[in-house]
Amino acid sequence: MYHYGNMLKDSVYTYITDLGLCRPVNVKSSQNEYEKQVYGVLPYMSPEILRGGEYTQKSDIYGFGIIAYEVYPSKRPKTKKLYNLLNDLYVRKHYGEINKQIEEADKINEKLTSGLSNFTV
DSSP per-residue codes, 93-115: HTHHHHHHHHHHHHHHHHHHHHH
pTM: predicted TM-score of the whole model, two decimal places:
0.47
Q: Give the confidence band of 13 by pLDDT, cuts at 50, 70, 90.
A: confident
The model's pLDDT over 90-105, given as tens digits with 9 standing for 90+, comes to: 777 777 777 777 788 7
User: In angstroms, what CA-CA distances link 31 with 34, 69, 91, 93, 103?
Assistant: 6, 35, 24, 22, 24
Q: Which residues fall within 8 angstroms of residue 12, CB to CB, at 6 or more apart?
A: none
Q: What is the domain partition of the chain in residue ranges?
A: 4-116
Reported as a pLDDT band with limits 50, 70 and 90, residue 37 is: low
CA diameter of the chain: 59
pLDDT at residue 105, rounded to an integer: 79
> What is the percentage of the chain residues whose pLDDT exceeds 70?
56
pLDDT digit string, tens, across residues 38-80: 667 777 788 887 777 777 888 888 888 877 777 666 655 555 6
117 pLDDT above the threshold of 80: no
Nearest Cα residue to 68 out of 20, 16, 18, 19: 16
94: left (phi over 0), alpha (psi -120 to 50) or beta: alpha
CA nearest 22: which of 51, 57, 47?
57
